[in-house]
Structure 1
């Protein structure tokens, strides 16, 4: 009785399977009503203790967008150095689309998170888990609407916090690039580029204790 129609269910699984972390964008603007729908999807995410710890900062000023890009580029180079033998390979990867995409959003944890104890007394990081749910909602909504989204995590949080004049206790956790695309990647970009491959679900699903693999193996 509570089950959605077969077509609706298929659409949910399809958008999950076809969601991509996008790095290549067209510069066409995003319709404002579409952005509202995508943001509303994020705001409908579950949150521990109903704390709703997400905050969204839309980057509109071109100079500020350039400043955000420069912070990411700084960290991209530092990450490349940290990767040692994979440095050259990493530097050939496109890791962001900040200058090309239609919209840039910074997602942050709100300040005064420590006041919310419900569900966080032993797991204080559940505020971050809640914001991640909001980002995933936004990602799926964007894909369903036909626009791409990429999550950029290469930045020094304190520098971005200062750039955006965030209060003490708040913390930026993601730069999101959203925009129209010529096409969605057939597979995740890092898989296409040979950087990594998706692990087998059967290797990650245990029964009753860590490391006990379910048999027979679950479908891949």
Structure 2
């Protein structure tokens, strides 16, 4: 069952707010990730339609949110390559490059470690957003992604539906990916990656 309501509170920085049903009743927590992909940023006063569920603490949450008059978007999941497949393909290429002596094993280890840290940071930030706790700064998420954590960040974004609907964040995220790939490619081509590996791993 869908409800109609108006957003009465919205925190743009943290990406969540509350909606009150038009006919009266309990307000519901609403997160930006629940809006249709490609939607604009919500503001206080927006009229929306939504479904409701309750979380583990029995709090009302708005799901599958649409702005009033907004048409149902065509399914895009089948057209978008899942993040885990992109990450797996990247690590496969990285392992092949290491096998053929193009990059040192240190590069693989750094990507694995940073990806795990990035994944956990997104996971914890998603939980904080749902519970209203203190959030991780977006600049911190971008920094870990820039420092080789972007594969884990990509998997976490799609798995937890976190930050995927926030266009400015996504633009900065993909910029960090490009900068990271360019920087690592330069380190590998210049021999500096191998030098660092020899120093740190005693190769």
- Normalised by the length of structure 2, the TM-score is 0.26
Answer 1 or 2: higher relative contact order, Cα 8 Å, separation at least 6: 1
More strand by proportion, 1 or 2?
2
TM-score where L is the length of structure 1 = 0.25
Which has more radius of gyration? Answer: 2
